[in-house]
Homo-oligomer: A and B are copies of this chain.
């Protein structure tokens, strides 16, 4: 009874505003309202927001760029002009919490250095906004728990910035696994790496801001790959670290390899690095194989299978698909393709990998419920 009353109020408000403006109204959990597009505020206007998310938000169907939050005053006017953003929808880090009063913002997308993910995700939740948190979810599992608890308490949705779950090549891999197109996966190899040479002062190479090096950046893709590439959460991991350019990689990991065991008996093998260019996924099944290469860049991805067929889909912005999927989750109760549990699970694996390295490669047991952090 309470919920129906709340919805009715919202519907009234919604139609009232919809008549006078193209800008959709406040955050709303109701799926029956008139509202078409949810307003997203990007927090952190670095490369990813600038060159991927903001352009993608020009094409999204269920959300749009409604505001920004930046710690760099010069960027405010630039973004206001470029995307025709009202001044009222532009925040800095200090006045960010007042976003709770801004009905034009439904979703806050946290695109900050990793050390700021937890703080801003939690503040966004407390402001009553749905949250998309870029990967890696946070600096550690404890922070992941805090983010999830805040979102739960405030009744807002939480999604990870795992764009690949929304794009068709990865969805095809998940389908192969789910439908056993090539039988059971016996072995999966996934490498995610790029060769970093520029700007030694970038935040990714500063552990206090990033929480780690290649592993928490590209490594998360490789971890994701072996999981959706087998359809299982791992039961153990072992890992090794390599260093050849300590002057450049002063306090973050340069290259890491890790090996996974799965309940089914499948074995996973990953490499991640800031010192080489590799971007692929290969799965050997008992009736064939499939691979993506590239497997996790911004696309177009490419793939092929043991049947001699190419995996091929029309290219669309992965970020567009991802943000629309999250908006559909809010608007239409569509599945959350990358829930907070998925981000936390991956952070638990990241921590286990670092622990294995610290213990000279010793195997670390992992304990997840079979469906924990999964999306089908």
Interface residues of A (CB under 8 A from B): 186-187, 189, 191, 193, 195, 238, 240, 242, 244-245, 255, 257, 259, 261, 265, 267, 269, 271, 273, 275-278, 280, 282, 284, 286, 289, 360-363
Contacts and interface: CB of A to CB of B under 8 A. Distances in A.
Given A240-B363, A242-B267, 5 more contacts: A186-B276, A187-B278, A240-B361, A360-B360, A360-B361
A286 B195 contact: yes
A275 B361 contact: no
Given A195-B286, A255-B267, A271-B187, A238 B276 contact: no
Contact of A186 (B265, B275, B362, B363): B275
Contacts of A277: 186, 284, 286, 289
A341 B44 CA distance: 58
Contact of A276 (B187, B276, B360): B187
Contact of A361 (B189, B193, B195, B238): B238
Contacts of A276: 186-187, 267, 284, 286
B265 A244 contact: yes
Contacts of A187: 191, 193, 255, 271, 273, 276, 278
Best-surrounded residue of A186, A245, A289 (most CB of chain B within 10 A): A186
A240 B361 CA distance: 9
A186 B278 CA distance: 10
Contacts of A255: 187, 267
Contacts of A245: 265
A284 B363 contact: no
Contacts of A275: 186, 265
Nearest to A279: B284
A261 B240 CA distance: 11
Contacts of A360: 360-363
A189 B363 contact: no
A363 B267 CA distance: 20
A166 to B, nearest CB: 27
Nearest to A362: B360
A85 B11 CA distance: 94
A289 B276 CA distance: 10
A185 to B, nearest CB: 9
A259 B278 CA distance: 16
Best-surrounded residue of A191, A261, A276, A362 (most CB of chain B within 10 A): A276
Contact of A240 (B195, B259, B273, B282): B259
Contacts of A363: 240, 360-361
Instruction: Enumerate the 6 nearest inter-chain pairs by beta-carbon distance, A residue then B residue, closest first.
Output: A361-B361, A244-B265, A186-B276, A187-B276, A278-B284, A257-B259
A73 B364 CA distance: 53
23 contacts: A186-B275, A187-B193, A187-B255, A187-B273, A189-B191, A191-B269, A191-B284, A193-B284, A240-B361, A240-B363, A242-B261, A242-B267, A245-B265, A257-B259, A257-B269, A265-B275, A267-B273, A267-B276, A269-B269, A276-B286, A277-B284, A278-B284, A360-B361
Contacts of A242: 261, 265, 267
Contacts of A240: 238, 259, 361, 363
